[in-house]
Structure 1
Amino acid sequence: MPVGTAYLATIFIWSTTALGIRWSVDETGFLFGIASRMVLALVLTWLVCLVMRIRVGFDKLSLQTYFAAGFLQFVSMMLTYWGAQFIPSGLIAVLYGTGPIWTGLFASWWLSERFTRRKLIGLLMGVAGLVVIHHSSVLVSGQAWFAVMAVLVGAVTQAVSTVWIKRIGAPIDPFATTAGLLTLVVPLYLIAWWLFGQGWPASLSPRTLLAIGYMSSVASVIGFSLFFYLLKHLQAGKVALIQLITPVTAMLLGQMLNHEPVDPVVWAGTGLILLGLAIHQYAGLRMGLNRMLS
């Protein structure tokens, strides 16, 4: 698959992920929503690997990759799904939109990528945007404040995972990576569901079933694999640049499909974050525009 096609497909999937998470926890509780998603994704990914005859290795380098991708993804997803119960899907996407900033910061430590003054300014503007959002009237309850912090920590954890996978640099097929990490962490999701005592839901609406099915197949099997494919072919910072676009598209989808009110202060904070990301990724944006115009 061409890298450009994979990039556009990832933008679409990431734009819809926050709404899918929100819909999958509205009726079921966050543990059932995430556990069912990952179990189905595990089955589907192994089926893809069997049909396409993709070998899933369990050598030392592969296991390091599965751990870096899987365990940190488990922490990130648990925090995000819990937070999704209390805040709008658009806000989840905005918080994950800070990913390029954290990715750039960790890449400067682990991958020796330069963290320039411009990137520092972008980081500070992104933090300022978060502060503005935190003071929005949307966040009127204590649970919402904790939810924002949980999702933000989830975004930071995802950035650590991205840089760690890039640092390992294992030549593994993207579907094999997805199958390996899910094999490693699905038991953790099931144990968490069992420990915290959330039972099987009495009933599931068509919307919830659709959301869980979409998150299992498209967001997990295809989305994870595309993400690992892009990491193999692009710098970690360029992959994280996708999150410059998805906060706005996700907020618009939340408004149109889930009737989520968006406070003007949240839009102002989002604008600050996006401006900070644009400054942070200025060189990459300029290079991309030059290629498009040439």
Structure 2
Amino acid sequence: MQLISAYLMVVLIWSSTPVAIQFSLTGLEFFTALSLRMWASAVLSLLLVAAFRQRLTLSRQALVSYVAGSVGIYGAMMAVYWGAAYIPSGLISVIYGLAPMLAGALGYVWLKERELTPARIIALLIALCGLAVVVSARTSLDGLAWRGIAGALLSVIFFAVSAVWVKQANAGLHPVVQTSGTLWVSSLMYLITVPVFGFHWPETWQPQAVGAISYLVICGSLLAFVLYFYILRHLPTSRVTLITLMAPALAMLWGYILKDERLQLSTFAGALVLLSGLAMYQWHHGFDRFLRKIARGVTKKEQKSTTECP
């Protein structure tokens, strides 16, 4: 029950994260909003470590796990924050639905968790077709939408690599320790890259930005990452990234309620095709059995025709 509750909480928080990111950019440049969120989260994470009576581990294996986690916090967040200004928040979550496929493929190579079956190959092709429809529809509507789509896709890649790498590191860290260590490594990386992107403190703060950053610090970073690393320790990587299949529907709902976002019919249709492919990818067993029956039937017919030839 505890694991299920943690899983559902992550779904709820991650579904609202894209729209919160967009609100946090009100009057702020993307790097400023993101780095403020992560620096505040890193400092507050130490309070969590103390509250759980833990301490940061600095062993080699722990440091590798922190670096692995930072790929998802630094790399993935940088990409999605950059792209968030160009596409609707619901569409970001839909594209993030590709994470289970990519993480599943990486998990098979690195961790031998699951195999790439014929049904999953077909599901991947269906999802990619849906993505192509989404990209075509959105770019025809907005010439700059490719930036948001590229940012979201790059973020998905970083996210999947991070999830599998943390699993492979297998440092056995408490979720709070993993979260805090990852946030501090990521914060250092943000600090190092300040000269590259620049940090611009606003003269006036917009209430939307303050509220969104506060929500992202407390829920989007601390609570979500603690719960995420907790379930990542107890479930296969591809099952964890199934969250990104469940979140898009809620994300589109939050975008509609909070920002009056409406996806055009062709974009919505492409999103449905993409998510259908992802659903088939996750629940592939029945389709695989069906394909095996067809293959056996074809083989028997070929053998029969061969034996009946004079």
TM-score range, shorter chain: over 0.9
Q: Which residue of 2 aligns with 1:2?
A: 2
Task: Flag the structure with larger Rg.
Answer: 2
Contact 1:23 1:208 in 2 (8 A): yes
Contact 2:139 2:146 in 1 (8 A): no
How many Å apart are 1:176 and its aligned residue? 0.3
Whole-angstrom distance in 2 between the partners of 1:47 and 1:187? 19
Contact 1:139 1:145 in 2 (8 A): no
Whole-angstrom distance in 2 between the partners of 1:126 and 1:194? 39
* TM-score with structure 2 setting the length: 0.88
How many Å apart are 1:194 and its aligned residue? 3.8
Structure 1 unaligned runs (5+)? 287-294
Whole-angstrom distance in 1 between the partners of 2:286 and 2:252? 22
Whole-angstrom distance in 2 between the partners of 1:177 and 1:159? 17
Contact 2:130 2:274 in 1 (8 A): yes
How many Å apart are 1:129 and its aligned residue? 1.0
Q: Which residue of 1 aligns with 2:31?
A: 31
Q: Which residue of 1 aligns with 2:177?
A: 176
Matched, 1:246 2:222: no
Deviations 1:15-45 (A, max 9, x none): 1111111111132010111001001101111
Q: Which residue of 2 aligns with 1:101?
A: 101
Deviations 1:70-101 (A, max 9, x none): 13431111111000111111111111111111
How many Å apart are 1:123 and its aligned residue? 1.1
Task: Give the % identical residues.
Answer: 35
Q: One-letter code of the match for 2:146? A: W
Q: How does 1:93-172 map to 2 (within 5 A)?
A: 93-112=93-112, 113-137=114-138, 140-172=141-173
Contact 2:18 2:251 in 1 (8 A): yes
Q: Which residue of 2 aligns with 1:292?
A: none
Contact 1:238 1:284 in 2 (8 A): no
1:215–1:277 Cα change, 3 Å: same
Contact 2:37 2:216 in 1 (8 A): yes
Whole-angstrom distance in 2 between the partners of 1:69 and 1:182? 8
Contact 1:278 1:285 in 2 (8 A): no
Whole-angstrom distance in 1 between the partners of 2:34 and 2:191? 9
Q: How does 1:220-231 map to 2 (within 5 A)?
A: 220-231=221-232
Q: Which residue of 2 aligns with 1:52?
A: 52
Deviations 1:119-171 (A, max 9, x none): 11111111111100011146544432122112101101100111111112121
Deviations 1:46-79 (A, max 9, x none): 1111122112101011001001111343111111
Structure 1 runs of 4+ off > 2 angstroms?
A: 137-143, 190-198, 283-286
Structure 2 unaligned runs (5+)? 288-310
Matched, 1:191 2:185: no
Q: How does 1:54-69 map to 2 (within 5 A)?
A: 54-69=54-69
How many Å apart are 1:196 and its aligned residue? 2.3
Q: One-letter code of the match for 1:160? A: V
How many Å apart are 1:255 and its aligned residue? 1.0
How many Å apart are 1:250 and its aligned residue? 0.2
Q: One-letter code of the match for 1:210? A: G
CA RMSD of aligned residues (A): 1.8
How many Å apart are 1:284 and its aligned residue? 8.5
1:137–1:95 Cα change, 3 Å: closer
